[in-house]
Amino acid sequence: MQKNWIYDASCIDVDTNMFFDRYEDDPSIRETIDSMCSDCPVQRECLAVGVTRQEWGVWGGVYLEKGKISKDFNAHKKHDQWFDLWAALTMEIE
């Protein structure tokens, strides 16, 4: 994992409350965040950090609770969205 991956993140200048409190409280913001994360060049690194550090909030486009996938806060994602997301996070795509 590159040391300064966060500087390449699509959300570098975004209010981090979007990924925690606002994501939980405002369902309309979830699609915006999902879209931002899906285009992020460091999406894999971000998810790895969230899982490893047992974080809460959105990491790599996945809402985590203590480093585990939250079924409740990810329930808005359709099956095909999960497939595409999981492929981007776990498969080598050339």
Q: 74-84: per-residue pLDDT in tens?
A: 999 999 999 99
Torsion of CA 59, 91, 73, 76, to 10 degrees: 130
The DSSP annotation for 9-47 comes to -TTTTS-GGGGTHHHHH-GGGHHHHHHHHHT-TTHHHHH
pLDDT reported for residue 90: 87
Q: 39-50: per-residue pLDDT in tens?
A: 999 999 999 999
Q: 19-40: per-residue pLDDT in tens?
A: 998 888 998 899 999 999 999 9
Q: Domain-by-domain residue ranges, the chain?
A: 14-90
What global pTM score does this model have? 0.88
Which run of H or of E encompasses 52?
A: helix 43-52
Number of H helices, E strands in the chain: 4, 3
**Average confidence score pLDDT of the chain:** 91
pLDDT reported for residue 94: 54
